[in-house]
Chain A
Amino acid sequence: MLSNFPRVTYLPALLFGSLFVVSFFIASSKASADAPLEGTKPAQWRLIWTSDPATSATVSWSTAQRGSSHSVRFRVKGNSTAEQNAEQGVQLADSGRYTGGDLELYYHHARLDDLQPGTAYEVQMVSDEETSPVFYFVTAPAKDRVFSMLHGGDSRSDQSARRKMNRVIANMVAASFANSEPADDLIALAHGGDYIASGTNLAQWSAWMSDHELTTTDDGRLLPIIPARGNHDRGKPFNEIFGFPTDDLNYYAIDLGPQVRFVTLNTETSTAGKQAEWLAEELQRSRPKRRWLLAQYHRPAYPAVKSPGSALRSWVPLFEQFNVDLVCEADGHNIKRTVPIRDGKQDETGVVYIGEGGLGVPQRTPKKERWFLQSPGMTDRGDHVFVLTFGPQEIVGKCVLVDDTVRDTFSRPVRN
């Protein structure tokens, strides 16, 4: 049909065609080492905070077979007398089969309520006759005290780096409680989304959940995760993995102590409608009562490599109106901390945006020329996690690289 065309016309097509053919042949499925899942033996344990973390938590795990009875035994840690043992609770789990491909895997979520704030609880998952090791977790404090948390994102495309980062996190958590200094106590990990590459692929989720076990410390401490949905986390599995109701839209706010309000938003649904209305109400209600107001979501409003998401129009005006103290973003695969921003300009009274994701993903070269990344802001690349310490007068933030070096330190003063 194109026989009348000279050879020069074919050249671009041939070049590009060759590129794709070669690339398709080079493509190979990623190796993933799922943790052993046998019968109804509990595996892929995780502790999730999506409602009041001072008094509730969701203990979740997976089994390879459906089983018939799934529950969590729990008690206050350290209770060992017969009388105290009698106070042990049992919470039945909501169970079901994960969607997302041929892999057969079952989720179990035990929702623990009416817990005591700032208290360590031992938990053991029970599926039929099989039991998990005994773990423990600590509920969020009820009194105003100094503490720290982690924020990171994007753990989707480099399993080796993801596992390494998870081990780093476990070591950081263990070290933070190994001393008597409360300020460095890491009470939770906020994950900004893009856990895996394809949100409907259960095999990838399974690998992520197994890898997440590595955030558990050697003495069995479970690190609570505060999940946000990323653009790669589409489909039903996300809600099944983190224990959200089936059609939940994944925006919520929780108290990490009486003075820290942590808002999780969802950039993968409408940002301007009901979510923005909810955010406005939430910030208006929380700002007068809390010293620290933070938000996390996936797609950046002030990106270091990409174009801005709709959060720039939908949420940034609200962040500025209600003087949010710090905003945690992900998605870009790099490290960034913006200058304080108000009305699209650098302003000391403005909002600082950090993050962009490095929990196990190749890093992009950031676009250092963007105005909001100029000094005193910064940008770089490298697997990393942010440590945020909430003091009475300031939030101190540190960007810790996978080799445990600190790449960036900053502080945000309390707003008067």
Chain B
Amino acid sequence: MTDPLPHASPSWQWGDWVLRFVIALQGLGVGGRYLFSSHETESDVYGWLYFDHGWPEATAQRIDDVGAWACCLASLFVVLGGWLAMPRGPVDRSQRRQRFGRYLEACAAITVAVWVLALAITHSLRGEIYAEWSLAEYAVRYGAPLSLLFLQRDGRMTAAATMHRLGLGLLMLAAAVTFFLHGYKALQGYGPFTDLILLTDQNWSDFGWGQSFAESALVTIGIVDMLVAILLLATRWRWLAIYMAFWGALTAVSRITASGLSAWPETLIRAANWGAPLAIACYLTYRSKASSITIASKVSTARSSSP
């Protein structure tokens, strides 16, 4: 008995669409930060090429802009591709469109993944505090688009099922690694995290939280983050993923609550921090239902074949 077709399941489709929107938002966030926000700046790719390797500034700038624009375009194409790939109408007529949609989506996802990975690698090489952990810290940002490549596959059932398992595994690993790293930084009392709490309070709630309170809170937050990350991988319990989605959204939005609306690219660029766990929750819901159906089906088969 094989699993039911994933793409026919609403929860699986929700997962795919969450991932697509996450990639799109993240691409727009990259565009905002490096191209068109009022505080647009250059990325670490530019810095690495220009400062560390002596490339001409114009070349480094051009490469930087191309990467950011590619992410912006990819954010459109990943949604368009997903829409085209949706099955509808007579099978024969829609097959070509669906295939094109998947190719488009895959290209867009690869583009975002590669550029975000480039940002992570170059950041890790540039000597700032915790920079050596950038590949792990940004894991969910490039892990989400990479996992979509696997999760949107269909075709022969067994091959697709393998791809789906790989994709979900990759997505969970990426989300857990990012969560764990953020937990570690919180546990270490990372200054900017303290400021997110204090400035948010200062701007909004005015409880008068002091640094000692914020640092104590960060210790708790850090321990919880690290535990949740480990437990997600160990148990695959979807409520953990839902908690991660909630907390990821809160921390992404805290960039705006602390620094004002002009920090919107910082919130968008962290879309995967909440979006990936949300997608995981959708996929785990599907797997849970599929598992129930499979068990029920096996029980039914066993009953009917019994004398």
B-binding residues in A (CB < 8 A): 1-2, 4-6, 8-9, 11-13, 16-17, 19-20, 23, 26-27, 157, 197-201, 231-232, 234, 268-274, 277, 303, 305-308, 310, 312-314, 333, 361-362, 364-365, 367
Give the chain B neighbours of A333 by CB distance below 8 A. 51
In the bound complex, CA of A231 to CA of B194 (Å)? 17
- Residues 198-211 of chain B: 1 if any A CB is under 8 Å from the residue's CB, otherwise 0? 11001100000011
In the bound complex, CA of A199 to CA of B130 (Å)? 11
Least distance between B188 CB and chain A CB atoms (Å): 12
Q: Select B118's contact among A20, A26, A234, A273, beta carbons within 8 Å.
A: A20
- Kindly name the residue among B166, B210, B211 whose own CB sees the greatest number of chain A CB atoms within 10 A: B211
Task: Tell me, yes or no, whether B103 is within 8 Å of chain A by CB.
Answer: yes
Spot the interface stretch: B89-97, B105-113, B246-254.
Answer: B105-113
Task: Tell me, yes or no, whether B57 is within 8 Å of chain A by CB.
Answer: yes
Contact, CB under 8 Å: B107 / A9: yes
Give the chain B neighbours of A200 by CB distance below 8 A. 127
Number of B interface residues at 8 Å Cβ cutoff, please give it.
49
- Residues 35-55 of chain B: 1 if any A CB is under 8 Å from the residue's CB, otherwise 0? 001011110000011111110
Interfacial residues of chain B within 138-185, with CB under 8 A of chain A in the complex:
149, 153, 155, 163, 166
Contact, CB under 8 Å: B39 / A270: no
Q: A273-B198, A308-B39, A310-B259 are in contact. Are A231 and B57 (CB under 8 A)?
A: no
Q: A9-B107, A274-B211 are in contact. Are A364 and B57 (CB under 8 A)?
A: yes
Q: A12-B110, A274-B211 are in contact. Are A361 and B51 (CB under 8 A)?
A: yes
Task: Tell me, yes or no, whether B10 is within 8 Å of chain A by CB.
Answer: no
- What does DSSP make chain A's interface, helix, strand, loop or mixed? loop
- What does DSSP make chain B's interface, helix, strand, loop or mixed? helix
Task: Tell me, yes or no, whether B65 is within 8 Å of chain A by CB.
Answer: no
Using CB atoms, name the residue of chain A closest to B107.
A9
Task: Tell me, yes or no, whether B223 is within 8 Å of chain A by CB.
Answer: no
Q: A4-B155, A310-B199, A313-B259 are in contact. Are A157 and B52 (CB under 8 A)?
A: yes
In the bound complex, CA of A273 to CA of B197 (Å)? 10
Q: A8-B103, A20-B118 are in contact. Are A314 and B127 (CB under 8 A)?
A: no
Contact, CB under 8 Å: B258 / A313: yes
Contact, CB under 8 Å: A26 / B107: no
Q: A12-B110, A12-B111, A23-B49 are in contact. Are A234 and B128 (CB under 8 A)?
A: yes
In the bound complex, CA of A312 to CA of B202 (Å)? 13
* A to B CB contacts below 8 Å, 6 in the list: A8-B103, A274-B210, A277-B211, A306-B39, A307-B39, A310-B195
Least distance between A201 CB and chain B CB atoms (Å): 8
Contact, CB under 8 Å: B199 / A314: yes
In the bound complex, CA of A409 to CA of B161 (Å)? 69
Contact, CB under 8 Å: B258 / A23: no
Give the chain B neighbours of A12 by CB distance below 8 A. 70, 107, 110-111, 114
Interfacial residues of chain B within 191-244, with CB under 8 A of chain A in the complex:
191-192, 194-195, 198-199, 202-203, 210-211, 214
Contact, CB under 8 Å: A16 / B39: no
Contact, CB under 8 Å: B41 / A307: yes
Give the chain B neighbours of A270 by CB distance below 8 A. 191-192, 194-195, 198, 211, 214
Give the chain B neighbours of A16 by CB distance below 8 A. 114-115, 118
Q: Select A305's contact among B42, B51, B103, B191, beta carbons within 8 Å.
A: B42
